[in-house]
Chain A
Amino acid sequence: MGKNRNGHAPVSAERLEKALTGIAGFDEVTNGGVPKGRPTIVCGGPGCGKTMFAVEFLVRGATEYNEPGVLMTFEETSEEMAKNVASLGFDLKGLAARKKVVLEYVRIEPAEIYETGEYDLEGLFVRLQHAVDRIGAKRVVLDTVEAIFSGFGNAGLLRAEIRRLFRWLKDRGLTTVVTAEKGEGTLTRYGLEEYVSDCVIFLDHRVTDQISTRRLRVVKYRGTSHIADEVPFLIDERGFSVLPSTSMKLSHVVSNQRVSSGVADLDEMLEGKGFYRGSSILVSGTAGTGKSTLAAHFAQQTCRDGERCLYVALEESPAQATRNMKSVGVDLEKYVRKGLLRFEAWRPTQSGLEMHLLQIHKLVEQHKPTAVVIDPITNLLLGNRNELHSMLMRLIDFLKTKQITGFFTALTSGRNKEIEESDVGISSLIDTWIFARDVELNGERNRCIYVLKSRGMAHSNQVREFLMSKEGIRLLPVYVGSGAVLTGSARLSQEARERAENVLRQQTKVEQRRVLEGKRKALEAQIEAMRSEFAQEEARVALVTKQEERRERDLSQDMLEMVSFRGGARQGKTGERNGRVGDGYEG
C-alpha cells in the first residue's frame, strides 16, 4: 500500500538523498544516513534504545549539521526526556533555549476523552506545523507516535491519519525518525512499517549468558545499498554508536613495509624481516607457552622504533604484566612513561563483546597506535565461538583499514595437540599465524614454536625451541634426528656430543696441518741446502777456470820469450815484435 503511494515520486529515478545522522558508525552502515526529507522508522522492543537513537539524530542534526529539529514525545514529558538524555551529554533544555530544538510533549489521557462522532487528528498536525515553524526545523522525531492508539478508539481512522502524517512530513521535506514498539512477530505493533517504505531500522537488545548485546539491522532501505547484517551497537556516555561490521569489500591498502617482531630469531624465520605492517598476527598455544612474552616483545619493539602501541591485557593488570615482563628483559614501563605505549586492562567478563570492541575502537581513536596487542583475544569469548569469529573479523577489519598491525594471542585448551579445530575458523582472518606448543620428553616440558602460515612471505618451516631468559627470547633450532625432535636437555646432550665430535675433528685437522707444515719446512730446508751446495760448486768451478786461464797465458808468454832468445832465421819477421818487446826490455 505504502509502496504504491510512494511510487509516484518522479525523484525516485535520481539518487536518494541522505541526511547524516551524526550517529557514530550508523552513517557508514547506511552509506550516508537516513533518507533526507522522509520518515524513517526505528523499531524494537522496550529498552532497545530507539529513543536514544532518535534523540541523538535530532541533537546531532541541531548541533553538527545546523538542522534544527522538533522532538515530539508521546510517552515522556519534555522534562523527563531532557533528564533521560542528559546522561548521554545531550542538553535538550539548552538547545531548546537556543531555538535549536523544540520539545513538544503530546499527552494522551484516555480516561478524560469521550468520543462523539467524527473527528481527525488535525490538532497533531497543527502542533507539529507550529513547532516546525518556530525554529525552521528540518528534522522531526516522533517518539512514539503509536501511543495514539491507546488514546483513541477508532483504529481505522488512526491508521489513515498516520498515513496522512507520513505523507505530510514527506511533503514538507522533513527528515523524520519515527520510533515504534516491536510487535508479536511483526516489526511494529501497529504495522507502521507499512506506511514508511523508505527506511526501516530494527534495534534488538538481548541477553545471552548474562551479557547484554545490542544489535541494529537495516531491515529495508529503498534504493540504496546497505549492510543487511545485524551490526552491534552501544549506548554509553558518548551516546549511540554503531560498530560497522566488515566492509563488504576486501579493499584494504596493503603495505610492503615490514615490522620487526622484537625477537631477532623470529624475524629470521620470517624472511629475516618480520611481519608486514598492517597485517594480523595470531600466536596461539596452550597455557604457558610464551604467548604473552612474544606479545610484550612485539610491543616493546614497536615503541623502540618510536611508534605508538596499544596493549590490551585481558588476563593481568598492567602492573602485574609489566612486572612479569621485566623478568624476561622487557621494560614496558619505560614506554608507558614516554607515552608511546598505552597499557589497558579490563576483565573480559565485564561486558559483552561489543563493549570490548567499542572500547578498543575508542582507545585506537585516542591513542592512534600503529600496532595493537590483545592478550589474549580468547578471553573475550564467553560461550559462542561464532561471536568471537565475527568480532575478530570486525576488529581485524577495523585495524586493517587503519593500517594498524594487530597482534593477538589465543589460548588453546588442548595439550600437545595439533591445531585445534576451532582455531581453523579464524585462520582465514589471520595473516601470520604462529603456533606455540610444549613438548614433553625425558621428564621435561619444553616450549616449541613454529610459523604455521605467513601470507606473502617465504617463512621458515622449522620448529624452533623457545627459550626465555633475562636476556629475552631465543629461538633455537631443535635437534631433528632419527625421527624425533629433541628439545631441552635431550637437545643439550645431543649438542654436547656433537660438540665433542667437533672438537675431535678439529684437533685432527690441526694435527694434519702441522705435519704437513713440518714436511713443507723440511723440504724447503733440503732445497736450501742443495741450493747452497750448488752455489759452492759454482764458485769453485769459476775459480778453477780463472786459474787455468792465467796459467795458459803465462805459458804462452814464456814460449814467446824463449823464441826471441833463440832469434836468427826468423829475425825479420819477428824482429818487429822482438824490437817492440825488446824496447820494453831495454827500457
Chain B
Amino acid sequence: MKAKVGESKRGKGANGTDGGRLMELRLYVAGQTPKSLTALANLKKICAEHLEGRYRLHVIDLLKTPQLAQNDQILAIPTLVRKLPEPIRKIIGDLSDQNRVLVGLNLLETEGGK
C-alpha cells in the first residue's frame, strides 16, 4: 500500500500517476445540500493538499443550469468530473474517502488492483 503523490511538474509521474499535470475539475451539485457542501469542502481540502496551483475547479449547480448535466452524463449528485487530463474520470459521492478520491483522480497508485 504505497501512497506516493506524483512529483514531476509536467507529464506523467514516474509511478504512472497524473500527479504533475494540470487538472480541470468540475463538481456537479444540485443546490446547497449537505452532501454537496461536504463534497465541496472535501474537494477543496484535497486540492489544497495535493494539487496546489495545478488545478482549475468549476462548481456547477444543476438546479441553475440543468442543461449542463447531459454533456458530462451526470446522474449521481455530487459528481466530480476530471475533464483533463484525459481520459475523463468521475468520482461520485461526498468525497469523504480521501484515498479513493486520489485514486480516482489518478494521483495515487491503484490500491489493491481496483
Smallest CB gap from A114: residue in B: B104
Contacts of B76 in A (CB 8 A): 113, 119-123, 152
Partner of A116, one of B66, B74, B95: B95
A126 and B70 in contact (CB under 8 A), knowing A116-B92, A120-B77?
A: no
Does B103 belong to the interface (CB within 8 Å)? yes
Distance between A271 CB and nearest chain B CB, rounded to angstroms: 73
Q: Is the CB of B92 within 8 A of A129?
A: no
CB-CB under 8 A from A106, the residues of chain B are: 73, 75
For B93, the closest partner residue in chain A by CB is A117
Report how many residues on chain A are interfacial, defined by Cβ distance under 8 Å: 25
Question: How far is the CB of A355 from the nearest CB of chain B, in Å?
Answer: 40
B100 at interface by CB-CB < 8 Å: yes
User: In the complex, A129→B101 CA distance in Å?
Assistant: 30
Tell me, in angstroms, the Cα distance from A120 to B74 when the chains sit together: 11
A506 to B26, CA, bound (A): 117
Chain A, residues 91-133, CB within 8 Å of chain B (1/0): the string is 0000000000000101111001111111111111011011000
Quick check: which of B4-12, B15-23, B50-58, B82-90 contacts chain A, the rest being far away?
B82-90
With a CB–CB cut-off of 8 A, which chain A residues contact B77?
Answer: 119-123, 126
Indicate if the CB atoms of A114 and B96 lie closer than 8 Å. no
User: Is there a chain A Cβ closer than 8 Å to B67's Cβ?
Assistant: yes
Residue of B nearest to A129 (CB): B66
* Complex alpha-carbon distance, A127 and B68, angstroms: 9
Q: Is B28 within 8 A of A114, CB to CB?
A: no
Known A-B contacts A112-B87, A114-B91, A121-B75; A126 and B62 likewise in contact (beta carbons under 8 Å): yes
The prevalent SS among residues of A at the interface is mixed
Task: Confirm or deny: B109 has a beta carbon within 8 angstroms of a beta carbon on chain A.
Answer: no
Q: How far is the CA of A246 from the CA of B101 in the complex (A)?
A: 61
Q: Does B104 contact A107, Cβ atoms closer than 8 Å? A: no
Cβ-based interface call for A148 (8 A): yes
Q: Which of A135-151 contact B (CB under 8 A)?
A: 148, 151
Contact (A148, B35) CB under 8 Å given A126-B30, A127-B70: no
A116 to B102 CA separation, bound complex (whole angstroms):
10
Which residue on B lies nearest to A133, using beta carbons?
Answer: B66
| Residues in A neighbouring B35, C-beta threshold 8 A | 118-120
Chain B residues within 8 Å of A115, by CB: 91-93, 100
Knowing A114-B103, A116-B95, A116-B104 are in contact, say whether A130-B67 is a contact too (CB < 8 A).
yes
Contact check, A123 vs B28: say whether CB atoms are below 8 A apart. yes
CA distance A123 to B26 in the complex (A): 14
The contact of B101 among A113, A116, A124, A126, by CB within 8 Å, is A116
20 A-B pairs with C-beta separation under 8 A: A108-B73, A109-B73, A113-B92, A114-B101, A114-B104, A116-B94, A117-B97, A118-B38, A119-B78, A120-B77, A121-B76, A122-B76, A123-B69, A124-B75, A126-B30, A126-B69, A126-B74, A127-B66, A127-B70, A127-B75
Interface residues of chain A, those whose CB is within 8 Å of chain B, are 104, 106-109, 112-124, 126-127, 129-130, 148, 151-152
The 7 A-B pairs of least Cβ separation, nearest first, read A114-B104, A117-B93, A130-B66, A117-B96, A122-B77, A117-B94, A123-B74
